[in-house]
Amino acid sequence: MKKITFLLVVSALVALLEPAMAQRRKAGFKRNIPIWYRSRFYNTIGGGFGSANYFGDVTPTPSALSTDVSFTRSGFNVFGAHKFSPRVTGRARLSWLRLKGDDFVSADPNQPNAVGRYIRNLHFRNDAIELSATAAYEFIASNEPFFKRPLWSPYAFGGLGVVYHNPKARTPSESGDGDWVALQPLRTEGNSYSKVTLAIPVGLGVNYKLSQRLDIGFEVGYRYTFTDYLDDVAKTYVAPASLPSDLARTMADRTLEPFAADAGQSREQGLRNIAKSSAGFQGAELPNYDPFNPATTVLGKPVAGTIRGAGKGKDWYLVTGFHINYILVNVVQRPRFR
C-alpha cells in the first residue's frame, strides 16, 4: 500500500511540474538561438531627398501627362518602416515638397494650343506636407537574418496619404518681386476648398545593401490627389462683383497684366503676336495698339462662365528621389544562466 501511495504522489508531482519544465526547456532553446538569427523581421528608420513635378492645369499642354521640367523642385522626407514578412514591408513617411507652375514660362504664345494659357497668365507655388502609410512588396523574398538580405531589393509600393497644401501666387509686379499671397482664402473661382486632401501614393523603387545595417535606395512614385486645387485653378471665371475683395479680383483674372508677376518679364510682344496670328488683327504691331487696355485689346477679357481651368480632372504630382535606411536590431545575445 505504501508503494502504491508513493507512486501516486510521484506521478502527481511529475504531472504538476511537467508544464513548467517544458516551458523552461523551450525558453532555454530560444536562448540558444542567437538574436540576430531571429531578427528576420526588423525596424528601419531613414530619410531622403529628391524632386517633385506637378501635373495639373498650369502646364505646357492640355494633356493630363503634361509637366514643365523647368519647374522641378526639391523635396525631403523622413520615415520609419517594419519588415512584416519575407516580401512585405510597411512604411510611414513624412515629406515636404514644393510644386510650381507658370503660364508665362510654360505656354508658348506661338503655339495654337498654348495661346489660351499664355493669355490667362496664371502662376502658383505650393509647399505641400505629406503624411503617408504604404506597403512595399519586394520582388526578391528574404527569409534570412537582416545581414543576409539580398544585395539588391526591387519593390513596388502603394498606400494612402494625407496632404496639407497651400497654393500661393505673387501680387502684380514689374520685376518679379511681388508678395506671395495665399490663394485659398481669396476664393478666386467663387468657391472654397480644403487645404487638406487625401492622396494615393504608388510607385517603384530599389534598395542596395551598403553594409550590414545600411541600405541606399532610389524611388519613383506618383501621388494622385483628390483635389483639383493644388494650383488654385479648376473650373471657370466668376463675376468680379461676387469675389470678396479687390485682392481676390486681382488674383483671379490676370489676363491684362503687362508683366509676368513671378518671372518679372514683359508680356507685350507675346500678346501682340497672338493678336496678329490668332485673332488676325493686322494692327497688332502699331505703336498705338495697347494689348492691356480692355477697351482696345482684340483678345478680350474673361467673363463669368469662361473656362479658367483645363478640365483635366484631379491634380497629381511625381516624386523622385534617393533615400538611406538604417536597420534597428539588437544583435547582443543575452547571457544564459545555469
> 305 and 269 in one domain?
yes
pLDDT of residue 35: 55
> 27 and 111 in one domain?
no
- Please check whether residue 231 lies inside any domain of the structure: yes
Phi-psi region at 256: left, alpha or beta (left = phi > 0; alpha = psi -120 to 50): alpha
> 113 and 86 in one domain?
yes
**Percent with pLDDT over 90 in the chain:** 74
Task: Tell me which H or E stretch contains 322.
Answer: strand 316-328
> 165 and 142 in one domain?
yes
- Please check whether residue 272 lies inside any domain of the structure: yes
Euclidean distance between CA atoms 52 and 316, whole angstroms: 10
266 pLDDT tier (thresholds 50, 70, 90):
very high
74 pLDDT tier (thresholds 50, 70, 90):
very high
Euclidean distance between CA atoms 66 and 64, whole angstroms: 6
Q: What average pLDDT does range 284-301 have in this prediction? A: 91
Q: Are 119 and 291 in contact (CB under 8 A)?
A: no
pLDDT of residue 12: 45
pLDDT at 26 over 60: no
> 98 and 44 in one domain?
yes
Q: Render the burial of 320-337: b for 16+ CB within 10 Å, e for the rest.
A: ebebbbebebeeeeeeee
Euclidean distance between CA atoms 191 and 39, whole angstroms: 54
Phi-psi region at 177: left, alpha or beta (left = phi > 0; alpha = psi -120 to 50): alpha
> 202 and 53 in one domain?
yes
34 pLDDT tier (thresholds 50, 70, 90):
low
pLDDT in tens, 95-142: 999 999 999 999 999 999 899 999 999 999 999 999 999 999 999 998
pLDDT at 17 over 50: no
Helix (H, G, I), strand (E, B) or coil at 7: helix
Backbone angles phi, psi at 103, to 5 degrees: -60, -40
9 pLDDT tier (thresholds 50, 70, 90):
very low
- The amino acid present at 161, given as its one-letter code, is G
pLDDT in tens, 76-91: 999 999 999 999 999 9
Q: What average pLDDT does range 134-157 have in this prediction? A: 93
pLDDT of residue 133: 98
Domain containing 9 equals: 1-32
> 155 and 95 in one domain?
yes
Of 173 and 31, which is predicted with more confidence? 173
> 156 and 16 in one domain?
no
pLDDT of residue 8: 44
> 200 and 90 in one domain?
yes
Q: Are 214 and 325 in contact (CB under 8 A)?
A: yes
> 232 and 85 in one domain?
yes
Helix (H, G, I), strand (E, B) or coil at 195: coil
pTM: 0.84
> 72 and 5 in one domain?
no
- Please check whether residue 92 lies inside any domain of the structure: yes
Q: What is the mean pLDDT of the chain?
A: 88
- Please check whether residue 334 lies inside any domain of the structure: no
Q: Are 127 and 54 in contact (CB under 8 A)?
A: no
Which residues are CB-contacts of 10 (< 8 A; sequence separation ≥ 6)? none
pLDDT of residue 31: 52
Q: What average pLDDT does range 272-288 have in this prediction? A: 90
pLDDT at 32 over 60: no
What's the N-to-C CA distance of the chain in angstroms?
39
User: Residue 94 to residues 45, 89, 130, 297: CA-CA distances in angstroms?
Assistant: 12, 17, 6, 48
Q: What average pLDDT does range 193-219 have in this prediction? A: 97
pLDDT of residue 96: 98
What CATH number does the domain containing 84 carry? 2.40.160.20
Q: What average pLDDT does range 10-29 have in this prediction? A: 47
Q: Render the burial of 157-189: b for 16+ CB within 10 Å, e for the rest.
A: bebebebebbbbbbeeeeeeebeeeebbebbbb
Handedness of CA 257, 259, 260, 266 (dihedral sign): positive
Euclidean distance between CA atoms 232 and 42, whole angstroms: 42
Helix (H, G, I), strand (E, B) or coil at 220: strand
pLDDT at 21 over 60: no
Euclidean distance between CA atoms 79 and 92, whole angstroms: 6
DSSP 8-state symbol, 71: G
315 pLDDT tier (thresholds 50, 70, 90):
very high
